[in-house]
Structure 1
């Protein structure tokens, strides 16, 4: 039987330990999901393991809105100014086609611009005004959050909290804007 010189044994053991412990042994690192952006923290599941309470679908995508108990409306700073956001920091929009607090967005419009729905009385958080919050009954039976005279919506093109890609665009016959804490559209 041949024996290895002592320095070679130490090197071999060190390389084995580095590789086994996930060191930088030159091999490819296992693939992992990219970290979430620092400005967005996904909602935590409820105490019973239920989906997080946001106005988005249970998987967090903006395809179909789900009602939120006591839907929170707050204010956040953004690249376009101070804007209204939901409890997860997602931008809320108004649709200029809506009149007198009633939604005129349904069908394909409501898929692209999911309404912010509630199961209770909406709640003002930091920077929002409780006296401007109310609700309206939608034609599909849902209860939509209204701020000032504007029913509130998400935009399916926004991927995370803080996105404002739906601001100042025209779709479904009118302009869409982020909403300021005063209940008016953000301009400029």
Structure 2
């Protein structure tokens, strides 16, 4: 039968009224500042690339025949930015991504600094011979790989036959050293 619902539900903090009320001109001014500061941060910058802002909000309403009536609003924004740096014959790029639902948490100088530092670290690299090497992934790379993997877990992807996990229900699909937990009530995880 249908689950009648629990006696109590914990409220998640996934909606920011302040984000919805922030005028678009302020958000555009922030993007312009990010782009200007990327160019000003280092003389090797030849291009500020992919600087963009995305915002999403949704409202979910759940009712059942037992009288359960739940409603939840959520919203978030993301800012992406990158830079192209040139030094001698080398050209390097780096991109950063920020996601939250509180604009006050966006530290613009730190964000730009990470973009420039990431590209700068790539200069002077040398090729190594092909082979097996012990590898340590930086947190951003680990997050990208996890994001790719989790995208394959979305029911819509499976139903459209575009998930590499289709047909693997009950099978081991990753190393036993990897565990992924779903924590829907954790703030901005």
TM-score (norm 1): 0.22
Larger Rg: 1
Structure 1 or 2: more helix by fraction: 2
